[in-house]
């Protein structure tokens, strides 16, 4: 009987360290996502001769694939759960709405605005300084997000107290500096993307994305302090939520 218990525990542990169908779908999505954005962008631009747009799409592809591949290698359990986010019945209802808004403002709206701006109507054309700054912000954002996901196995898509996964407070890596580093990373790449392309008007959906992230940070932090054991003590040690030395 003891051997059977050990074998079952071994199988469960092995399952956590293996990528399953939901995680594979996330990996596949890292390839499809940039293609969708490219289709939206070029459809609204009405042209393909936009070097900075191609640079933006290349950065997006490399960043998303590298993120998913690294998390799959180091923390496959997280990728599996991220692929099941729509089935998480205990996710906070308010967060499902914020996730939808985040997707619209950060993923679908920017390429449409970029295409109309720098492609079809040429309303604006930010100079090379914007492209360089945008590359730095965009890349740094994805580095921070990936670092947070590698360290935090509870970095799921929606806000919920993960009682099914022995939810614990993470205090290492970027979490030793900031309580919600992933949201800072998302804000940086959202801000960097329009600069890479050179679109002034695409900063509008970027600003909306950052507003959603600020609201989500506030709601999530309040939820964790109220419902996750040990988080309130952690919040006393790590003072800032989204911006170091500010908030």
Predicted pLDDT at 53: 98
Burial 155-191 (b: 16+ CB within 10 A, else e): bbbbbbbeeeeebebbeeebbeebbbbbbbbbbbbbb
CA 194 distance to own-chain centroid: 17
In a domain, 191, yes or no: yes
Predicted pLDDT at 247: 85
pLDDT-derived band at 17, boundaries 50, 70, 90:
confident
Tens digits of residue pLDDT in 189-198? 999 999 999 9
CA distances to 150, 152, 184, 188, 211 from 240, rounded to whole Å, are 21, 18, 11, 17, 17
In a domain, 172, yes or no: yes
pLDDT at 7 exceeding the cut of 80: no
Predicted pLDDT at 244: 86
DSSP letter at 229 equals T
In a domain, 243, yes or no: no
Tally the domains of the chain: 1
Higher per-residue pLDDT: 203 or 1? 203
Determine whether 94 is exposed, middle or buried from the number of CB atoms within 10 Å of its CB (0-12, 13-18, 19+): middle
pTM: 0.91
In contact, 114 and 194? CB cutoff 8 Å: yes
Tens digits of residue pLDDT in 217-226? 999 999 999 9
Domain region containing 113: 2-237
What CATH number does the domain containing 187 carry? 1.20.120.1630
SS3 of residue 172 by DSSP: coil
pLDDT-derived band at 199, boundaries 50, 70, 90:
very high
In a domain, 247, yes or no: no
- Residue 73 in tokens: 């290698």
Tens digits of residue pLDDT in 41-97? 999 999 999 999 999 999 999 999 999 999 999 999 999 999 999 999 999 999 999
């Amino acid at each position: 009987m003891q051997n059977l218990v050990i074998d079952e525990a071994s199988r469960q542990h092995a399952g956590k360290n293996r990528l399953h169908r939901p995680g594979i779908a996330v990996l596949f999505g890292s390839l499809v996502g940039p293609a969708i954005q490219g289709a939206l962008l070029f459809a609204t631009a009405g042209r393909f001769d936009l070097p900075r747009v191609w640079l933006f799409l290349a950065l997006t592809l490399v960043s998303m694939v590298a993120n998913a591949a690294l998390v799959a290698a180091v923390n496959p359990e997280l990728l599996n759960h991220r692929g099941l986010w729509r089935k998480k019945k205990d996710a906070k209802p308010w967060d499902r709405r914020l996730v939808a808004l985040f997707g619209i403002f950060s993923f679908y709206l920017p390429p449409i605005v970029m295409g109309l701006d720098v492609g079809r109507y040429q309303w604006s054309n930010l100079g090379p300084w914007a492209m360089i700054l945008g590359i730095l912000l965009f890349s740094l954002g994805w580095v921070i997000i990936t670092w947070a996901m590698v360290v935090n196995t509870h970095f799921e898509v929606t806000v919920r107290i993960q009682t099914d996964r022995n939810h614990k407070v993470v205090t290492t890596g970027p979490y030793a500096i900031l309580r919600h580093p992933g949201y800072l990373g998302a804000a940086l790449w959202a801000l960097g993307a329009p600069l890479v392309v050179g679109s002034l008007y695409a900063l509008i959906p970027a600003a909306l994305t950052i507003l959603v992230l600020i609201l989500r940070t506030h709601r999530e932090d309040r939820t964790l302090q109220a419902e996750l054991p040990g988080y309130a003590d952690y919040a006393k040690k790590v003072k800032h939520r989204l911006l170091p030395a500010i908030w």
